[in-house]
Amino acid sequence: MEGVMTFIGFWGHAAVGFGYAALAIWLFHKYGSRNRQQILLISAMAATSVWGVAAIVSGPLSLAALWAESARNLAWLCFMFFLLKSGEGKEQPRTINMIYAVLLIVLLCQPVNDAVVALFAVRGFNTDIAVQSAMTLRMIYAVGALVVVHNLYTVSAPEARWGISLPMAALAAMWTYDLNLYTIGYITAGPSDELIQTRGFATALLAPVFVMAARRNSNWGLRLSRSVAFRSVSLVAIAVYMFGMVVLATALEIVGGTYVRLAQITLIFGMSLTALLVVPSGRFKSWLNVVIAKNFFQHRYDYRSEWMRFADTIGFPSKEAAPFYERVIKSLADIFDSPGGLLMVPDEEDRLTLQARWNWATANVPAYCVTSVTMPFFESTGHIVSMDEIREGTDDRCDPRAIPQWLFEETQAWAVVPLVHFGRLAGLVILSRPRLPRALDWEDLDMLRVVGRQLASYLAEAASQQALAESQQFEQFNRRFAFVAHDIKNLVSQLSILARNAERHAEKPEFRVDMIDTLRSSVDKMNELLARLSQHNKSRQSAPIVIDIGEAVMKAVHDKRLIYPIEAELKPGLFATADPARVETIIGHLVQNAIEATGDGSPVQIKCNMQGNDIAVHITDKGVGMTEMFISKLLFKPFESTKEGGFGIGAYEARALALSMGGQLRVDSKPGKGTTFTLLLPKATEAQNPVNMDEAA
């Protein structure tokens, strides 16, 4: 049996020496030395051949064979290292280098330990400890080499794995055999002769695999995959954690003592609990992503995957997805690991208002959330603002007046990103501070600009679609008026017939009775139609004149005071330049809304005063109030009504009429505390003469 194993060992290692030498020569003649990976592959083949020859000449366990084995492992380790390095730019990944550095140190220690074993054997010393150390070093290297093989395969992009799967499988098989060999030898206090002799034959069988691999991937290029890199580093971290736990537990066993078992249980429980608390946390994942981006890749972002995720978030919403404006924030925040954000968009007055929040309910955003400089600054510059730099005073490009005070005070505000579309500000996104605080660098700014332009186009498209939808709603509304006009036409025709018949039958009593009934019915129908048309009938576009605002308010609420308590505090001598009819329509809408919002009969209060260069009319109720989202999204939108049968154009028409006279309509409301509408009208100059309201009517 011993002779058979010696025969297998001899010819197996001879096959390694001859086969890998021939393979190295074939690769050199076929591909030459085009790149570093090819040179290292040929060198690794040659080193493997040298190991086979050394095993034949001096024996598989001789000092020369052991040194040749270490050289073989070193050559394959260098091949894998530079194959990984070629996958992403010229920067050497520092974190993965540590793994290779540890394996390099182990390889350098192996020849020294082997020499000590040989020296002890020559001088007759006990070599058990040295032999155990040698096998331990080789076990450690085999485990580390398998981890490196796994890492190299998993960090490669899926489309690139086809070219490296065969050599990685061959190397994994070679080092798995070594791990079994030295593990069994460590347990049995000596290497197995059967495994030693068949090792060469097993290695020789892997040569054809390298031939097929060389045909698949002659250039030995590699593209890395970021998504798998996270899992690979996580695998290494878990391995390090498990190794540390075993080492500490073993150390406690060596130290001994009465409470050693309790200490080991406490150690294992404590480390496990720490892993459960730290690893799943968002902050830990953010830190790990940053470390990977810095040490494994030339660029911080995988632009392809980020763009695909962005497109999925903003362009392909599911049934459970958030509303569009929240997805605008989320699509931007996800790229930068920001946990929340705010979106502000321009309204009809070209004033930025809060449109949506995403995971940032604590941000205290006032109703008038920007300054007069905000929109002009961001439209003209498109500057992305880092709030940390603004607070420190190191941002020379930003005008401090463009940043409102509440944003200075909001410590979680991290970045202000303008969404500019063809020179117009389509929106402004404020991102909250990432889980792992960091400063904005050039790559962040480039990504923000690109994504910001795309989001601006989405917002502009959404605004266009909304305008088109409103236009279609107006068209439908006009159709309703066509039906009303048709009813009026029928009434006119009916009255015309009545008038013609009256010329012939007016003297008949029964005809006069029918005529009175017909007229009464026609009058009722006409009043009904006029009531439906009244709000548009009063909105005639007359030229603004100087009016006494107190008289205009009292005339507007005259009929409503008969049915509901209204408290008016009107200062005399307040004159505004406005159209009386439009003012009456605006006041009528706002007072009617206040009455309908107040369910307990509390009086509606009206006050008039000076406010800068404007005359202000404040209409206050103590009703149910409105949320900021309702005010920004629905209050001034046409055809959005909470009342049954309502057209939803009262508030919309009121603001449109105010803007048409050069005025403004503002609202301040809180749920459960009531609402105050403020109508601002231009103050009349002293040179203008007021017009009597009765004369104007």
Q: Are 655 and 548 in contact (CB under 8 A)?
A: no
Residues 33 and 110 in one domain: yes
583-605 pLDDT tens trace: 988 898 888 888 878 877 789 99
The CATH number of the domain holding residue 364 is 3.30.450.40
Last residue of a domain, one of 415, 445, 468: 468
Residue 290 lies in a domain: no
Residue 337 lies in a domain: yes
| Continuous segment of H or E residues that includes residue 681 | strand 674-682
DSSP string, 37-54: HHHHHHHHHHHHHHHHHH
Distance CA 467, CA 448 (A): 28
Q: Report pLDDT for 486.
A: 52
Which residues is 241 bridged to in the sheet? Answer: none
Residues 329 and 442 in one domain: yes
Residue 140 lies in a domain: yes
Domain, as residue range, for 249:
225-279
535-554 pLDDT tens trace: 444 444 577 889 999 888 88
Residues 214 and 330 in one domain: no
Residues 333 and 366 in one domain: yes
Residues 501 and 559 in one domain: no
Residues 452 and 500 in one domain: no
Residues 319 and 441 in one domain: yes
Distance of CA 620 to the CA centre of its chain: 41
* Token code pair at residue 433: 């501070």
Residues 637 and 520 in one domain: no
Residue 293 lies in a domain: no
Distance CA 100, CA 336 (A): 31
Look at residues 148, 157, 41, 144 and name the one whose alpha carbon lies nearest to residue 88: 157
Distance CA 149, CA 137 (A): 18
Distance CA 662, CA 300 (A): 51
Sequence-distant (6+) residues with CB within 8 A of 54 are: 62, 64, 65, 67, 68
Q: State the Cα angle at 523 between 518 and 528, rounded to 5°.
A: 130
Which one-letter amino acid corresponds to residue 427? G
Residue 288 lies in a domain: no
Q: Is residue 425 classed as helix, strand or coil in its secondary structure?
A: strand
Distance CA 153, CA 171 (A): 12
Residues 174 and 232 in one domain: no
Q: Report pLDDT for 48.
A: 92
pTM flag (> 0.85): no
Say how many CA atoms lie within 13 Å of 643 toward its Cβ. Answer: 14
Distance CA 221, CA 219 (A): 6
Which residues is 427 bridged to in the sheet? Answer: 419
Q: Report pLDDT for 260.
A: 47
Residue 236 lies in a domain: yes
Q: Using 50 as the pLDDT threshold, list the residues of the chain that sit under it.
A: 89-92, 226-231, 234, 238, 242, 246, 249, 258-261, 264-265, 267-269, 272-273, 275-282, 286, 295-296, 535-540, 645, 687
Look at residues 242, 220, 69 and name the one whose alpha carbon lies nearest to residue 145: 69
Burial 473-490 (b: 16+ CB within 10 A, else e): beeeeeeeeeeeeeeeee
- State the DSSP code for 370: S
Q: Is residue 16 classed as helix, strand or coil in its secondary structure?
A: helix
Residue 108 lies in a domain: yes
Residue 609 lies in a domain: yes
Q: Is residue 567 classed as helix, strand or coil in its secondary structure?
A: strand
Q: Report pLDDT for 680.
A: 93
How far, CA to CA in Å, does 529 sit from each of 289, 643, 653? 67, 20, 20
Distance CA 428, CA 354 (A): 9
Last residue of a domain, one of 537, 562, 588: 537
Residues 85 and 207 in one domain: yes
Distance CA 135, CA 189 (A): 10
In this structure, how many other beta carbons lie within 10 angstroms of the beta carbon of residue 172? 15
Residues 417 and 532 in one domain: no
Check the CA dihedral 643-646-647-653 and report its sign: negative
The CATH number of the domain holding residue 123 is 1.20.1070
Distance CA 109, CA 95 (A): 22
Domain count across the chain: 5
Q: Are 31 and 78 in contact (CB under 8 A)?
A: no
Query: Roughly what angle, to the nearest 10 degrees, separates helices 2-31 and 207-216?
Result: 20
Phi-psi domain of 125 (left: phi exceeds 0; alpha: psi -120 through 50; beta: other): beta
Q: Report pLDDT for 149.
A: 83
Q: State the Cα angle at 639 between 635 and 640, rounded to 5°.
A: 40
Which residues is 674 bridged to in the sheet? Answer: 670
Q: Report pLDDT for 643.
A: 54
Residues 215 and 234 in one domain: no
